[in-house]
């Protein structure tokens, strides 16, 4: 039985951990909260307290791991992007570089397709330019690069860029229906990317099982603008359309790109949810 750890057992991390455990791996899952620690006993074999933003954290658990999934984001009051994606990822990468053991380790780092930023709705792939003009995107890109530059022959690193996540408890279709007839101050012309939680979960296992390294977009097939998507949903339901803005709020972090998932598909990955509308279409 090989040992895997999930750092950050939030929405994505918990689903992925449960699936990896189901596949027969011994799972350690981390949290910073004592309340979550007790809940994690039902998800993983071994909960662990870990704060990657704390430079004094004990990372010795990494020594005997075969797989590591990193799925962190600011999630508690007082968390911020700088602490998680800048200091935290640097601390983790340092610990990975300084590992004593030469046990081979496969690291999957969850990132965001938001890093493409506003590409005016153009198609983008993993080799397209990313957006460094927005400070959050710049931080996310730096975090990816910190992880990708852990230069050890025994350590393989894969970055999975996700779109907006939908799934149980994050029902985007219902949220859009609730917004029918309402004014929403987001640009309706922008094309976001989306990822279903089950495809994220299977994609993580696929990346581990197929030894993927480098950057992969793990997004579904939908490449519609917010307005096209909401119109489709509201039309099916006989609801009035959502009234989106036609411009971005100044200074907002916009994402407007048709994000290609061809690279991971070419590696053999098959989506189970090509779009959040599939359940509506049946």
Ligand X SMILES: NC(=O)c1ccc[n+]([C@@H]2O[C@H](COP(=O)([O-])OP(=O)(O)OC[C@H]3O[C@@H](n4cnc5c(N)ncnc54)[C@H](OP(=O)(O)O)[C@@H]3O)[C@@H](O)[C@H]2O)c1
Residue of 165, 219, 271, 276 interacting with ligand X (CB under 6 A)? 165
Q: Give whole-number Cα distances, 223 to 14, 22, 46, 130, 163, in Å.
A: 27, 32, 39, 18, 11
Does position 253 interact with ligand X (CB under 6 A)? The reply is no
Contact between 163 and 219 (Cβ < 8 Å): yes
Give the separation between CA 68 and CA 7, rounded to whole angstroms: 7
Which of 1, 24, 42, 76 contacts ligand X by CB under 6 A?
76
**Distance separating alpha carbons of residues 126 and 161, to the nearest angstrom:** 9
- Contact set for ligand X, span 2-31 (CB under 6 A): 7-13, 30-31
Q: Does 136 bind ligand X (CB under 6 A)?
A: no
Please give the span between the terminal C-alpha atoms of the chain, in angstroms, as a whole number. 40
219 binding ligand X? (CB under 6 A): no
| Residue in this structure with the two tokens 């954290």, named with its chain if needed | 57
Question: Under the criterion CB under 6 A, does residue 160 sit at the interface with ligand X?
Answer: no
Distance CA 70, CA 204 (A): 11
CA 226, 228, 232, 234 dihedral sign is positive
Q: Which stretch binds ligand X (CB under 6 A): 47-55, 94-102, 148-156, 181-189?
A: 47-55
Of the residues 162, 218, 271, 276, which one makes contact with ligand X according to CB under 6 A: 162
Q: Report, in Å, the least distance between residue 240 CB and ligand X.
A: 26
What x/- string results for residues 191 through 210 when contact with ligand X is judged by CB under 6 A? --------------------
The answer to whether residue 33 forms part of the interface with ligand X (CB under 6 A) is yes
**Residues with Cβ < 8 Å from 145, sequence gap 6 or more?**
none
Q: CA nearest 86: which of 22, 154, 8, 141?
A: 141
The site string for ligand X over 105-134 (x = CB under 6 A, - otherwise) reads -----x-x----------------------
Among 25, 36, 227, 258, binds ligand X (CB under 6 A): 36
Q: Which of 17, 18, 43, 52 binds ligand X (CB under 6 A)?
A: 52
Instruction: List the one residue out of 173, 175, 221 whose CA is nearest residue 195.
Output: 221
Residue 51 sits in the site that holds ligand X (CB under 6 A): yes
Positions in the binding site for ligand X (CB under 6 A): 7-13, 30-33, 36, 50-53, 71-73, 75-76, 79, 84, 88, 110, 112, 162, 164-165
């Amino acid at each position: 039985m090989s040992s895997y750890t999930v750092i950050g057992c939030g929405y994505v991390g918990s689903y992925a951990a449960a699936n990896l455990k189901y596949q027969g791996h011994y799972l350690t899952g981390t949290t910073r909260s004592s309340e979550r620690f007790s809940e994690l006993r039902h998800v993983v074999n071994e909960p662990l307290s870990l704060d990657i933003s704390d430079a004094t954290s004990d990372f010795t658990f990494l020594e005997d791991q075969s797989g590591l999934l990193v799925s962190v984001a600011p999630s508690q009051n007082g968390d911020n992007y700088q602490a998680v994606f800048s200091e935290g990822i640097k601390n983790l990468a340092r610990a990975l570089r300084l590992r004593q053991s030469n046990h081979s380790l496969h690291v999957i780092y969850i990132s965001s397709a938001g890093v493409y930023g506003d590409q005016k709705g153009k198609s983008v792939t993993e080799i397209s330019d990313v957006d460094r003009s927005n400070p959050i995107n710049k931080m996310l890109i730096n975090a990816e690069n910190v992880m990708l530059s852990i230069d050890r022959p025994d350590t393989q690193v894969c970055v999975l860029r996700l779109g907006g996540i939908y799934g149980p408890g994050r029902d985007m279709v219902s949220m859009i229906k609730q917004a029918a007839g309402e004014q929403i101050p987001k640009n309706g012309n922008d094309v976001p990317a989306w990822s279903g939680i089950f495809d994220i979960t299977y994609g993580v296992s696929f990346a581990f099982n197929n030894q993927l390294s480098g950057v992969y977009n793990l997004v579904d097939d939908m490449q519609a603008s917010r307005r096209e998507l909401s119109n489709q949903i509201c039309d099916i339901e006989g609801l009035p359309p959502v009234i989106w803005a036609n411009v971005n709020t100044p200074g907002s972090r916009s994402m407007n790109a048709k994000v290609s998932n061809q690279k991971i598909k070419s590696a053999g990955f098959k989506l189970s949810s090509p779009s959040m509308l599939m359940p509506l279409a049946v």
